[in-house]
Amino acid sequence: MAKIDDLKAKTDDQLADELSQLKKEQFNLRFQAATGQLEKPARVREVRRSIAQIKTLQNQRQAEAAKA
């Protein structure tokens, strides 16, 4: 799971790329869970939280840009 400080150091484009990668991974993990092939169930939670952190950071940046 990415640390929030690492995420804050990334640009908006890098965050968008990482978000798309995490969403793909989340899809694959859900597929594995449905077929009973999931090796690390905790990874589902980590990916979900990482997605939430990135979205929160993106929303904060948009709010700051709107203020300025």
What is the 3 state secondary structure string of the chain?
CCCHHHHHCCCHHHHHHHHHHHHHHHHHHHHHHHHCCCCCCHHHHHHHHHHHHHHHHHHHHHHHHHHC
CB 55 within 8 A of CB 2: no
Residues 24-48: pLDDT tens digits? 999 999 999 999 999 999 999 999 9
Look up the CATH number of domain 4-67.
Answer: 1.10.287.310
Kindly tell me if the per-residue pLDDT of 1 is higher than 70. no
Residues in contact with 47: Cβ distance below 8 Å, sequence separation at least 6, in sequence order: 22, 25, 26, 29
What global pTM score does this model have?
Answer: 0.91
